[in-house]
A and B are shown apart, each in its own frame.
Chain A
Amino acid sequence: MSSSLSHPPAHLPPSVALQLSQQAPVTLRNTPSVISSYSLSTLWSAAETPELWTEYENLMLSCLRTGDEQSAGQCLERLTERFGAENERLMALRGLFQEAIAKDDAALKQVLGEYENILAKDPSNMPVSKRRIALLKTLGKTTEAITALNEFVDSSPTDAEAWAELADLYVTQGMYPQAIFALEEVLLITPYAWNIHARLGEILFMAGSTGDSSGDKYLAESLRRFCRSIELCDDYLRGYYGLKLATNKLLTSLPQASRQSKSDSTLPLPDLKTVERLNETATAKLSEIVRRSVSGECEGYDKGEVIAAKALLDSGATKTIR
């Protein structure tokens, strides 16, 4: 339980979030509310750890998600007592709290106004500017959010999180080339992130499936990205799933493409034979992963992902039978 409290809770399944927030009153009672660094009591009470405050923050997020505003408010209060109201991160957290309890769009706009006031005073307040962008997205002003995010990455180009967010925003707008560029920036900062390689492969695959002339280029590139993600991570279900999809698609489109002239200077399209072999490998690996996770040998995989992989394998099997 404490292990899941020490990491950001956004990806947790709802049941875990519910469990965490149900235990919040107990957790709050058991943890010290105020730790002062200049009193005699520090001699015998437990030492202050950085993890404690991370846990408060994550607990607050879980409580807000499940609607337990009282506990969330308590967490926020304790954090404020410790770090002061002028702390940048706490400003963002307080804004998040107000966003969560806002009744309607007018209240949200008021929060947005507060963010803008804070940013007018101190434009370098990173957490608050991130919150402002997130709130713009919540309000449905995606284009404004993209503009703001572009300014943000201009001033802080090594923030991988912002680049990844920008890529997702571009994808929602269907602007694939821009999204691909943003994700490539993420990969410049974290070159070994196997999930980002897979994500880039997915976006390239989506771009390749739109059906314009450069579709095969995108598909080939996506194939390479999926291969890289598998290279970085053994038995990566998402990577093999994408590899299978990309090779399936390439196998249908490559025979026509090979007749066209290859005049451009970019990387050549992969061999038909290579693609076939990759497809076979992906099928074999996927079926092995599905078999092993159904039999309960490995439990790390997401259940939904395994079901999707199984469905993909089944559809491929029926196609070959026909």
Chain B
Amino acid sequence: MTWISKSVTGLGLLFLTHACYSAHEHSALHSTTAASLSSIASHTAAVPTVASLPIDISIETIVAVFTICLGLVLGTPELRPIQWRVWAGKIEREGEKGFSSSDGTVDKDYVGNPFRVLESRPGFIDIRKQRKEFAEWVREGGGTAEAS
């Protein structure tokens, strides 16, 4: 999906550059011709005609802007759930996976279930029990089973 959005944005930028270049060329050409004309016949052209862009350049600019917008919109990441139950369900269902970007790093503001602290309760942590449990886990060969 990303390459589509990137190529569309690139195409739009190309159009925009082309339109800008055309507009610049047009105005440069117009001013030189107007200047040379006025130097030849300064009395006849008392009011210089207003330089208006040709319609194709205007159309190209507008099309380019819309193409760039389309490309950027296509390239946005997936929207976050805004309903509480959907968001909570996503945390429960997918864990860290659901909140990581495409290159595998977990979002900075991801905290998992924010209410889990009410059950783990870091303020009342029983460190001796945890140490005992950990020692038991090691004795049962948890470390080797995990490593192998």
The 8 Å CB contact of B125, one of A10, A14, A233, A300, is A10
Choose the segment among B10-18, B50-58, B132-140 that binds chain A (4+ C-beta atoms closer than 8 Å): B132-140
Q: Are A15 and B88 in contact (CB under 8 A)?
A: no
Tell me if A246 is interfacial: C-beta within 8 Å of chain B.
Answer: no
In the complex, B25 has a CB within 8 A of chain A: no
Contact yes or no, A195 B133, CB < 8 A: no
Whether A236 lies near B126 (C-beta < 8 A) is no
From residue 78 to 120 of chain A, which have CB atoms closer than 8 A to chain B?
Answer: 92, 96, 99-100, 102
Task: From B28-36, B68-76, B93-101, give the one contacting chain A.
Answer: B93-101
Q: How far is the CA of A92 from the CA of B137 in the complex (A)?
A: 27
**Chain A contacts of B118 at CB under 8 A?**
160-161, 164, 186, 190, 193, 195-196
Chain A residues in contact with chain B, CB under 8 A?
A: 3, 7-8, 10-11, 14-15, 17-18, 61, 64-67, 92, 96, 99-100, 102, 127, 130-131, 133-134, 137-138, 160-162, 164-165, 186, 190, 192-196, 199, 231-237, 298-301
- A10's partner among B92, B120, B131 (CB-CB below 8 A) is B120
- How many residue pairs between the two chains, A and B, have CB atoms under 8 Å in the bound complex? 136
Residue B146 at the chain A interface, CB threshold 8 Å: yes
Measured between beta carbons, the chain A residues less than 8 angstroms from B85 are 231-234
- CB proximity to A under 8 Å, residues B94-148: 94-98, 106, 110-113, 115-131, 133-135, 137-138, 142-143, 146
CB<8 Å pairs between A and B, sample of 5: A17-B134, A64-B131, A192-B84, A194-B113, A199-B119
| Most chain B CB within a 10 A radius of its CB, from A65, A131, A300 | A300
Q: Which chain B residues border A130 with CB–CB below 8 Å? A: 123-124
